[in-house]
Structure 1
């Protein structure tokens, strides 16, 4: 192992070229302001093209947040509401099914389902959200409930993680999103979300899902009270879980949006800079050598930064993202939906080849006579 005082961009570059794994000290080194970002980007791009060629993936998807009422009071969240808060809402079955119909009519292949942990709703209500959508629209892939929600369902039912996931899978769950990871290191996590699923539980839930053949994603919320050490530690913990269970598909770095959050008021925080966004994207690609994909989530990054990120390690730009509420409530100023034409254009402008994928990274083939009709093609893994 290279000693910390002997680390340089040159030594890191040789390891990347040889496909060798970077350690924590090397990851922290890459976050230093005096390490040229363009050179870090070149290394990240090397890994990105080794794994995914010149492809840049997107999908046609919609979000569903069935309620914003939540028992937890995470101080970085602008979405949640108390039970009697005028902002609080709870969608009916009819509203949920209408959202599913809208998704299908617009050619969506995926519905991303997350929300609050409602004080008065039992596990059956959350299962029902998945079941009624799956029964009505069986072709629509349901990516539902974060590890935090699964942990809440454990509490409600006194069932094991596996038992909870079995019930949800039988109802129609197809895969899981990666939210709730925030920052794993305890000295940060205890300050921003001390009551919800802890780091060990988050990883246990994802490992169990992977053992059951359920693919999942992973995230990291950065740009608040954490530092470079905490970020790289977070990435290494994800990498270690992936070594064991192998079911993570995509990593999504999530830039903290401070507007309307208690954390921003307490700490006088501002949104991360574009340079921080791009450096985090590049370092993530270099550290997560066993993750197939890195996503530049345009909702949080902004369209221009997400486009640039396609040269900083990202190979995926998410999708049309209809009805996203969580990050817009926190001050995201990006559009609430982006057309396929605009997504394809920004990918082509970045010098990449746009490829529509489904949730589990199969090529999507559209009927040119009716673009809302589609079939699944071959898997899209490259490297």
Structure 2
């Protein structure tokens, strides 16, 4: 089977390509920079001979046509995932316009499954609200989530028209081999570098990128079952998140927890300052907003223990020079215990 993939040089996309390749499928990737394909896939053991690369952007209709022509299925994983206010315009173009272009091209050219990778945040806002894949699209008061909600409405419109579109909702993802050191991996790294001594209350779903990748490979390689699905993961409170880091590193990590809603004004101010400040500021409005929304849902089947995910992430960051041995703690020198983080609040 030939699968067309957007976002294949990103965290979710690269691991999903690897999962597809392990099952013997061929992949055609749409990428803006062809050199990034090898850098993203080689560490995952992907045979690059089984991967075709098409140069182009998801907002380019001609490039999207070249990607999907002759494919049996499509995975649309391309998006700009960031809470950095300097990237708002890029988010609108890629997340909304890109989804419109790619899904329209896939509907015209592909008879098989079309998987659109969304995010649990499109179901916000809510304060500890229980959500389901069938929950209505929210109107998040945060720019990244708002652009993904716009993309979600496009995907649901195709579903309503009878197209074989599957929508997946990954949680906040961690794990090894993050080609671009994305938002979630950077946040964990910043916590271990001492840049995040204050955390908001609340929580958010967390999962392992490898579990989500296998879930995508299952959907793409199986029968057509359009619908909406949470990928594996479960809610962690911010206290549980920090506790997991303490467990796998053996470090104290002194942390103050403040009410999330009380931190929102400060986060909004940081977003304004970030537009003119040249260096990234770790205290992001989007991260605080996510914790304040505190969305809860069914834990997806196939989730590996959270401690395993955290340990593998920290170990990979250390091995690739993103954390010092002191910052990585126990994870740098021996396998971390794979014990499940407490179930309270999940």
TM-score by length of 1: 0.30
**Could you say which structure has the greater relative contact order, defined with CA pairs below 8 angstroms and 6 or more residues apart?**
1
TM-score by length of 2: 0.32
